[in-house]
Amino acid sequence: MPATDQNLPMRSIALEVANRNSVFAVCFCFLFAIAPHFPHLPLWVSGMVIFSLGWRCLQNIGRLGEVPKWILIPMIFVGGVGVFAEYWTIVGRDAGLALLTVMSSFKFLESRRHRDLLILVFLCYFLIATHFLFSQSIPTAVMMLVTLIVITATLITINKREQQVSPRELLQTSSRLVLLSIPLMLILFVLVPRVPGPLWGLTNEQRGGITGLSDSMSPGKISNLIRNNEVAFRVDFEGNVPPQNQLYWRGPVMADYNGYRWKQLPRQQMERLSLNVSERAIKYTVTLEPNGEQWLLALDVPTLLIADSLMTRDFQLLSKKTINDLRRYTMESRLVYEIGLDEAQDYLQKATAYPEQSNPETIAFGKSLAARFNSSDEILNEVLGMFSNEEFFYTLKPPLLGENSVDEFLFDTRRGFCEHYAGSFALLMRAAGIPARIVTGYQGGEFNEVGNYLIVRQSDAHAWTEVWIKDKGWVRVDPTAAVSPNRIESGLDEALADESSNFRIQNRNPIFGNLLYHWDDLQHNWNDWVLNYDENRQRSFLNKLDLGIENWSDMVVALVIMLVAVTGTFWLISWYRELPPRPPGYEILFRRLLRKLARLGIEKKPSEDSRAFLQRISSQPIPSQQLAQADQLARIIDLYNHIKYGRHGDSTLLLKQMRSMIKSLQT
């Protein structure tokens, strides 16, 4: 028998012309999978998708013909060129997605057979992965789980061979498949040995749409950022959280001033960490949301170097790669420190430079301060005193400033946000001959008691200054604190109470506040356990489990054991559920009786019912000593029929009686 020739009639099925329902199902499924991408795609690409799906559906009901090859092939070419014209590349996240989308919508136009539809469904599975390049948040994950169920239901639709299966049942089967996969997925997720990436060069692409600190500061820049309430990073402290007014999160440091905008000096890596510290370090772990830049935020002042990062000579921590994904790192900082005591002369020169022609009033005022006072401290205090005593206001809605912005601010409008105060203060200091620079970053944070961690949002963005004083080094001076002590002590909401701002969860939503803290905690754990689960995390987690899983091969063994155990359990459960129903109690007892009688050589014929059987054995000559037993037997069979045919539901008492009667029947 040529057995192996016939077992897989695959090719014939693959080439079958796809049926109508399957085509509709695949169109819907593709739309479902691609729709969340529409905001990321150029309009014409989205249009292309709608056009192709529409055409394919109309073709399906016979309103339109097939797109001829001589139109389709040039269209494919034009699509490719279009994507290139849009992005000037065809690789990378955005361009790659656009190309994939365009090509799969063309695939729809030429999909005729069963095989084409299956390939399109596989493409839909692949599309799910592309969503995760844009967001890996919990809502995205939930949405993708739903998408997975829809795609799987489509796959089932294609494979049901035109049989009637209700949509409800389709979704049920597909949900069951997907949900049963979750335990196996978890095992694989935990135990599949992780390999450090990347395997091939990643284009270090700049991704638009990420908010965060920028590499320059001018009036209005930070107050724009403040309006954004997204989480910038979350911090788990080992030990107590320092007081709010000590929480200065150091970001980009700017010492280059052109009269309007503060910028970073060309980066110079710190050769050796030179600082005087006395107290013990504060240890904490930062889970940084992607910021599209290189900033690694750290509590002022960071005193630890970590992998894949560097520290500039102005104590700015930088990642070597653009931070496009969640980043988690453990840092150490000191709150009391002396830095830059031996600052290089050239740097100090740059830190006192300013263009003479702009802001003449400010410069003149600064020079006059230098003439009036002897020490730097006195000058500082004079300016800070001016900020706190005179009519300066802290506001998110400062008036627009012209060319000489600092002059206008200091001597005219006197309403500003942290960048106005920090900028004008630093310029005054420089004019007075004191080296000064701007530090941007975040100040404060919101403590989440549910998960015991600090949430720092974009709205906590802040700018302050550092001035260099001989024998003290770089000293942090926050002019905003002089204007609005509330900002530093309590936070933005309190400082801007007049403008009824509500950035904090409990202020934003007093009723569901606690729920929102739980939600944020969930996100934090998600970041921590799911998104940051890399080879280090895997190793430490498996160590913590203490199951002796130490290396690569242990993991594989554990993986196989777990997979077999779980699938075995599933199999057992389904085997058990598919068993024929257990016979009722009286039947089991009756069978026991028959077995007992069989040992005496009395057997019931399959054709007899219980009464006929009883009649037959009663009419048989029975050995005399068993005569009494015959009565008993008759009673048991009567009882059996009584239970079986009588109308009294479940009668455990009668069953008990029957059991004891059978037991007492002597053989």
Partner 1 sequence: MISLSLPGPVRRYFDNWFETHNPPSRDPIVLHNRRLYILPTRFGYLFAVMLLLLFLAAINYQNSMAFVLTFMLISLAIISLWYTHKNLLNINVELLMPRPVFCGEFCELKFAISHRNQSRRYAIGMQYDQQPPVYFKLDPEGSTTAVIKLPTQRRGLFKPAGITVFTRYPTGLFHAWGWLRFDLPVLIYPRPLENAKLQQSLVEQSDGQTSTSTIEGDDFAGLREHRIGESLRHVSWKAYAQGKGLLTKTFQGHARPSLWIDWQLIRHGSQEDKLSFMAALVLSAEKHGQKYGLRLPGKMIEQGYGSAHRNECLQALAVFKQSDSEQELPLASD
Q: Which residues within the stretch 191-210 sit at the binding site for partner 1 (CB under 8 A)?
A: 192, 194-200, 202
The three-state DSSP-derived secondary structure of 419-447 is HHHHHHHHHHHHHCCCCEEEEEEEECCEE
Q: Give 276-342 as a DSSP string.
A: EE-SPPEEEEEEEPP-SS-B--EESSB----TTEEEBTTS-EEESS---S-EEEEEEE-SSEEE-TT
Stretch that binds partner 1, among 10-18, 420-428, 452-460, 514-522 (CB under 8 A): 10-18
**Residue 238 CB neighbours (<10 A):** 11
Query: Catalytic site residue 462?
Result: yes
Nearer to partner 1, 12 or 269 (CB): 12
Q: Is 665 in the site for partner 1 (CB under 8 A)?
A: no
d(CA 621, CA 618): 8
Nearer to partner 1, 207 or 263 (CB): 207
Query: Catalytic site residue 418?
Result: yes
Site for partner 1 in 319-378 (CB under 8 A): 325
Q: Is 567 in the site for partner 1 (CB under 8 A)?
A: yes
Q: Name the catalytic one among 236, 460, 478, 521.
A: 478
Residue among 21, 60, 136, 629 that touches partner 1 (CB under 8 A) = 136
Stretch that binds partner 1, among 133-141, 230-238, 249-257, 283-291 (CB under 8 A): 133-141
**Residue 61 CB neighbours (<10 A):** 10
Query: Catalytic site residue 524?
Result: no
d(CA 180, CA 176): 6
Q: Is 180 in the site for partner 1 (CB under 8 A)?
A: yes
Site for partner 1 in 100-119 (CB under 8 A): 118-119
Q: Is 181 in the site for partner 1 (CB under 8 A)?
A: yes
Q: Which amino acid is at 332?
A: E
Site for partner 1 in 29-48 (CB under 8 A): none
Q: Give 381-428 as a DSSP string.
A: HHHHHHHHHSS-EE-SSPPP--SSHHHHIIIII-EE-HHHHHHHHHHH
Site for partner 1 in 140-169 (CB under 8 A): 140-141, 144, 148, 152, 155-156, 158-163, 165, 169
Residue among 31, 142, 182, 561 that touches partner 1 (CB under 8 A) = 182
Q: Is 395 in the site for partner 1 (CB under 8 A)?
A: no
Site for partner 1 in 283-322 (CB under 8 A): none
Answer yes or no: are the C-beta atoms of 224 and 271 closer than 8 Å.
no
Answer yes or no: are the C-beta atoms of 453 and 235 closer than 8 Å.
yes
Q: Is 10 in the site for partner 1 (CB under 8 A)?
A: yes
Q: Name the catalytic one among 418, 420, 460, 524.
A: 418
Site for partner 1 in 502-531 (CB under 8 A): 530-531
- Which residues fall within 8 angstroms of residue 529, CB to CB, at 6 or more apart? none
Stretch that binds partner 1, among 176-184, 311-319, 356-364, 483-491 (CB under 8 A): 176-184
Q: Is 5 in the site for partner 1 (CB under 8 A)?
A: yes
Site string for partner 1, 594-623 (x = CB under 8 A): ------------------------------
Q: Is 270 in the site for partner 1 (CB under 8 A)?
A: no
Residue among 272, 577, 595, 648 that touches partner 1 (CB under 8 A) = 577
Nearer to partner 1, 199 or 307 (CB): 199
> Is the torsion defined by CA of 290, 292, 296, 300 positive or negative?
negative
Contacts 24+ apart (CB under 8 A), 15-22: 15/113, 15/114, 15/115, 16/113, 16/114, 17/112, 17/113, 17/114, 18/111, 18/112, 18/113, 18/114, 18/116, 18/117, 18/158, 19/162, 20/60, 20/61, 21/157, 21/162, 22/114, 22/117, 22/157, 22/158
Number of residues counted as binding partner 1 (CB under 8 A): 74
Stretch that binds partner 1, among 9-17, 242-250, 340-348, 455-463 (CB under 8 A): 9-17
- Which residue, among 76, 116, 81, 109, has the nearest Cα to 95 in the 3D structure? 81
Nearer to partner 1, 135 or 486 (CB): 135
Two structure tokens written together for 168: 């409800």
Nearer to partner 1, 512 or 541 (CB): 541
Catalytic residue numbers read 418, 462, 478
